[in-house]
Chains A and B, each alone.
Chain A
Amino acid sequence: MSISGKAAIVGVYEHPTRWAPDATEFQIMAESARGALADAGLTLADVDGLFAASMTMGAMGTIELAEYLNLKPDYIDGTNVGGSSFVAHVTHAAAAINAGLCEVALILYGSTAASSSVAIGTGMSHGNRGAHESFTSPYGLTTVGSYALVARLHMERYGTTPEQLAEIAVTMRRHAGLNPAAKMRAPITVDDVLSSRMISDPLHLLDCCIISDGGGAVVVTSTERARDLRKQPVLVLGCGEAVAHPEIGSPDLLTVAGAQCGARAFAMAGVRPTDIDLAMVYDSFTITVLATLENLGFCGRGEGGEFVSGGRIGLGGELPVNPDGGGLSNNHPGMRGIFLVIEAAKQLRGECGDRQVAGAKLAVAHGTGGTLGVSHSGATLVLGVE
């Protein structure tokens, strides 16, 4: 029995802050919850399912969060699979709602990554004791470096160029220029990207996402109840989750988790990539977008360089990607998945002003958690409006 179309996103809120040195993660989550519940026309008293993850919440963080919100939910999910977690939370919420375990699910994220000076890409220690970390920590593999290994391989195998990767960053910045809330809005060129300093060859500074503070909230309920609420329901039509990892030593680094969960999400929704009006793709780095688009089937393997060129992924193009400016230019407070869901929902409701994808009816949101090149998670949603 499919849960396709049985649950809907009914409230979303992207916290406007990009720099919050005087705020806590829970404060940002609570302010976001207030915004998303108001968007839905609901109150905290309606919430019976709590879903959250953050960069600092510990093993029992959802209990602490419930206390902060003075909430006693009937259903709790603290799944943390990295930046894709919140995309997966929507799937989990849809399943729980469909199973009758909760009715109104509140999904939260908050972060002060920037004002806490968390050097996510090139200076974050994960310790040395984990089954994975014990083999990377002696060598100093950075987050950027891990993605750079994938970028180099893609270039070698398919002839993808630094200019094609730069095109992605340029497009995201152009989109951010249309988003008043975005952190980085001044236009950039391909030359700007290529002349920015090398962080981990072949990825330059401007191939990397920014670091900001921020947070957001998403409210999910049954499609039946959604019809009585304030906003047009955004239906969860398809969903999927996956992991990709080093296996027993020789995985294909260019096959990312999205190949598995994307296929599942499309099949559940009964649609194809060519039916999609816009894609929200986790853009931790330019190569993340290129690899994800290929693995989700928006273009063939090795065709990503060509696909992202010529304005095809820009507003007005064949497949607008991240009209909000993405993590490369809008915001990236560490775990960006929740913003993929928020922007997709706002686009489908037609609320995005200058950056609106005209007539958008079907969207894909795909989150990546962890790092391409080593271990990562993927979570895909196909969302739509009637």
Chain B
Amino acid sequence: MADLQHPLVYASWETRGYWEGAGRGELVLQRCEACGTVQHKPRAICATCFADAPRSFVASGRGTVHTYTVTHQNQLPPFAAACPYVMAYVELEEGPRLLTHVVGCDPTEVRVGMPVVVDFQPQERTDGEVFGVPRFRPA
């Protein structure tokens, strides 16, 4: 598997805290201060109780593989050259599942239930900000 440089992420006003956090090496989730619910993806409101401004917090970065697929075919660059790569839902200790990659092991070694820990690929932007793309590797 060729080392994949993830395409530059697009951050909206609501989601940039997530990508900025990843640029600092932190996995950022939201927790509503009114009802306590943890949510992903990030939003300007709590989608459970509709309270404003859920508070960002740094998640543990630990989780398990909920399900996965080894991608053998994707015609789009830069993924075509990176095949086979492992797409997965990783279930975080805090509850939400992230759609992400499992890296740092042979694709054939990935299993459902496998403990994994977050890893980040930084992205330098032309505006000087650093974003990051969260991936996971075997714990």
Contacts and interface: CB of A to CB of B under 8 A. Distances in A.
A359 interface: no
Nearest to A142: B74
A133 B11 CA distance: 11
B72 to A, nearest CB: 5
Contacts of A197: 72-73
A133 B76 CA distance: 15
B41 interface: yes
Interface in A30-54: none
Interface string A235-257: 00000000000101110010000
Contact of B47 (A149, A150, A248): A248
A248 B96 contact: yes
B72 A140 contact: no
B9 interface: yes
Contacts of A203: 69
Given A123-B75, A140-B79, A145 B69 contact: yes
A140 B82 contact: yes
A142 B85 CA distance: 12
Contact residues on B (Cβ < 8 Å of other chain), bracket: 35 or more
Given A140-B85, A145-B69, A135 B112 contact: no
B69 A200 contact: yes
A140 B71 contact: yes
B72 A199 contact: yes
B53 interface: no
Contacts of A116: none
B78 to A, nearest CB: 8
Nearest to A139: B101
B24 interface: no
B7 A138 contact: yes
Interface stretch (A124-132, A174-182, A314-322): A124-132
B129 to A, nearest CB: 16
B72 A201 contact: yes
A125 B71 contact: no
B9 to A, nearest CB: 5
Interface in B58-77: 66-76
B41 A135 contact: yes
A156 B82 CA distance: 26
A149 B101 CA distance: 12
A201 B100 contact: no
A141 interface: yes
Interface in B98-126: 99-101, 112
Nearest to A204: B72
Given A141-B99, A248-B47, A249-B38, A149 B11 contact: no
A229 interface: no
Interface string A104-145: 000000000000000100110100110101111111111011
A138 B9 contact: yes
B38 to A, nearest CB: 7
A129 B68 contact: no
A152 interface: yes
A180 to B, nearest CB: 31
A156 B87 contact: no
Residue of A119, A145, A153 contacting most chain B CB atoms (<10 Å): A145
Interface in B12-51: 12, 15, 37-41, 47-48
B28 to A, nearest CB: 13
Contacts of B6: 138-139
A193 to B, nearest CB: 15
Nearest to A253: B67
A156 B65 CA distance: 12
Contacts of B79: 140
Contacts of A140: 4, 71, 74, 76, 79, 82, 85, 87
B97 interface: yes
13 contacts: A122-B75, A134-B10, A134-B12, A134-B15, A138-B133, A144-B73, A149-B67, A152-B69, A156-B67, A200-B69, A200-B71, A200-B73, A248-B39
Given A142-B71, A197-B72, 4 more contacts: A140-B74, A140-B82, A149-B68, A249-B38
Closest 5 CB pairs of A and B: A249-B96, A123-B75, A140-B79, A148-B69, A248-B39
